[in-house]
């Protein structure tokens, strides 16, 4: 695996990180899940410094046994799920340029690290992520099975909502890294559905727009407890003929 070449970050990189951090951190109180906000403190992310994996990994390992592994960008499904099954979260180390502040086609470090990593301090959440990845590895040669599992990943890890204290909160990294979708996801514009494994498996997703549907879990423990049901419902579907066109597997 590659390494984070921290000494190569430029003044623009630090400026971009600070702008993105300051802009998004203002949106998160009262909107992000408490587990994310607590995790942010535990791993000591600040606006002033791009996270240094050499400092973050010992903190993560002390919390849940997980760590960050450097990847160049989106990686193949087999490597992606293998890393997650081994408690290694694949993360890029490059940052978008100033002219790309509001839109990127491929996830950069702000998405991978700012949005994903704080929740890696939550044990039930990472237990779910690891278990889902182990299921994927058992079906890695079956493109249709991976597509179905990518829907679970998409509507939970990337775009999930959770109910806390009777209020909707965000835990999906795809939302947490987007100032616009943070506000949109909790508004009355999209559809909010309770977390239902069977329904998610039957729901294709799009990457090129805000989501039209968000699924709500009651707790991270309930999310992890759904793993046997995911296996059961997946088994029902992979025996049937796969559709001729499926969406791309989940992004990192």
Q: State phi, psi for 163 to the nearest 5 degrees.
A: -100, 120
Return the ∠ at Cα 192 (arms to 108 and 241), rounded to 5°. Answer: 75
> How far is Cα 159 from Cα 51, in angstroms, rounded to an integer?
23
Q: Is 106 flagged in the annotation as binding?
A: no
Site of tokens 């003044």: 11
Residue 158 marked ligand-binding? yes
What are the CB-based long-range contacts (under 8 Å, 24+) for 208-214? 210/180, 210/181, 210/184, 210/185, 211/159, 211/181, 211/185, 213/155, 214/155, 214/159, 214/160, 214/161, 214/172, 214/185, 214/190
Is 139 annotated as contributing to ligand binding? no
Query: Among 162, 109, 156, 106, which Cα is nearest to 133's?
Result: 156
Exposure string (b/e) for 196-215, b if CB count within 10 Å is 16 or more? ebeebbebebeeeebbeebb
d(CA 40, CA 172): 14
Instruction: For residue 142, count other CB atoms closer than 10 A to its CB.
Output: 15
Residues near 231 by Cβ (< 8 Å), separated by ≥ 6?
135
Annotated binding-site members: 111, 116, 158
Per the annotation, binding residues for Fe cation are 111, 116, 158
């Amino acid at each position: 695996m590659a390494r984070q070449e921290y000494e190569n970050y430029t003044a623009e990189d630090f400026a971009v990180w600070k702008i993105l951090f300051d802009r998004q951190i203002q949106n998160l109180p009262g909107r992000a899940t408490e587990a994310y906000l607590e995790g942010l403190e535990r791993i000591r992310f600040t606006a002033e410094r791009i996270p240094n994996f050499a400092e973050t990994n010992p903190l993560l390992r002390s919390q849940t046994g997980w760590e960050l592994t450097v990847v160049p960008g989106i990686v193949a499904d087999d490597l992606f799920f293998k890393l997650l099954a081994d408690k290694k979260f694949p993360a890029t180390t490059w940052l978008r340029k100033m002219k790309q502040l509001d839109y990127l086609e491929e996830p950069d470090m702000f998405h991978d690290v700012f949005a994903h990593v704080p929740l890696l301090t939550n044990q039930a959440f990472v237990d779910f992520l690891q278990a889902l990845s182990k299921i994927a590895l058992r079906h890695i040669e079956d493109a249709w099975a991976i597509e179905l599992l990518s829907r679970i990943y998409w509507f939970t890890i990337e775009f999930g909502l959770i109910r806390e204290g009777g209020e909707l909160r965000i835990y999906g990294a795809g939302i947490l890294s987007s100032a616009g979708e943070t506000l949109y996801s909790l508004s009355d514009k999209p559809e909010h559905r309770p977390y239902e494994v069977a329904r998610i498996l039957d729901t294709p997703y799009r990457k090129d727009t805000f989501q039209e549907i968000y699924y709500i879990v009651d707790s991270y423990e309930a999310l992890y407890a759904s793993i046997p049901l995911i296996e059961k419902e997946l088994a029902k579907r992979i025996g049937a003929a796969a559709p001729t066109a499926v969406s791309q597997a989940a992004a990192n």
